[in-house]
Copies of this chain bind each other. A is one copy, B any other.
Amino acid sequence: MFENKQNPLTPLSEIGEFGLIHRIKNAVKLQQPGTEKGIGDDAAVLDFKTYKTVVATDMLTEGVHFNLGYVPLKHLGYKAVTSNLSDICAMNAIPTQILVSIAVSDRFPLEAIDELYQGILIACNKYNVDVVGGDTTSSNSGLIISITALGQQKADKIVYRNSAKYNDLLVVTGDLGAAYFGLQILERENEVWKVNPQVQPDLTAYDYILSRQLRPEARVDIIKLLDKLEVQPTAMIDISDGLASETMHLAEQSEVGFHIFEEKIPMDHQVIHAGEEFKINPAMAALNGGEDYELLFTISMKDYDKIKGNPNFSVIGHAVSQSEGCHLIGRDNSFKTELNAQGWDAFKKYKSEMKKSQTTEE
């Protein structure tokens, strides 16, 4: 593809590591008052004043977390940022800065990195977050993205996973299951495309679930809304692995159990339709699909009136005693089944994929 004279692509080795750093530095605009020094020295210097510093990190690897066959680089950059900011939100904190490290193999031209960074910077701009550092290097295989996000919050506003109380209400933001079905659509269309690259599919009917998979948002708006409503969650986590797995994290760390009512789980109508199409119970996608990046939190009963009727929130259950465990209750009490975490596990997923590919090869 380097032969294309009209639109020649630039090998990364041509501009080198320092060239790439300069390029990124020039594209970054700092917005946070707490960023005293961004890219360009040995380290960034930040001022969190009287706030606590909240910090989280995530690593995404090609072929495990994303498939460039159907995920555009710009979306990947955007999602890499928002999925990280979501961890900061899950502490009831406001994200302020990120550091971005990428390793790329020789098959990526400069233009690909530019696209990835475009997505990163669009997300940073939207969320008012500064890129203050990072590393760019080569890898012997695919693309790896590692992002560290920092945020801030007053000491008494930070929310951990371990402080849900018996009888607290379990609340989730937005709706669930869409990211999972978005991925099913992308994988299906990718198979179709492999057979016939001429097909131009009409994906309008799936626009919402596709955007939830490709361009998830971090619920910084919810953190601000909770502050405005004067609701202080008692425990909080973000939904990256699925509602079941995250509920069990809250339960384990808070030493409580939970009842979740199936009919209360918020799902978009596209999720319901996709469930019918793929013959998958949409509630199962919500429970085990993951990547929705909504917030799951508990509040004291006394705060119920503050969120009642607010379309951003769904009360889906409540905390019970630890000995009762975590259960999903069916419509009209039709069933009561123990939750189990079939959420996303990088190593287990990898193992099963390896098995699949070995089986295919045999």
Interface of A toward B, CB cutoff 8 Å: 11-13, 15-18, 20, 36-37, 40-48, 52-65, 87-88, 90-91, 93, 97, 99, 101-103, 106, 132-142, 144, 146, 148-151, 155, 158, 160-162, 236-238, 253, 345-351, 354
Contacts and interface: CB of A to CB of B under 8 A. Distances in A.
A36 B13 contact: no
30 contacts: A16-B347, A17-B347, A36-B52, A41-B90, A41-B91, A41-B160, A41-B253, A42-B90, A43-B87, A44-B56, A45-B91, A48-B53, A55-B132, A55-B150, A56-B99, A56-B133, A57-B134, A57-B135, A58-B135, A61-B103, A61-B140, A61-B144, A63-B139, A101-B146, A106-B350, A106-B351, A137-B346, A138-B350, A141-B142, A148-B148
A349 B349 CA distance: 34
A129 B47 CA distance: 20
Given A59-B101, A138-B349, 6 more contacts: A41-B161, A43-B56, A45-B91, A57-B134, A57-B148, A103-B144
Nearest to A13: B351
Contacts of A350: 13, 106, 138
B46 A55 contact: yes
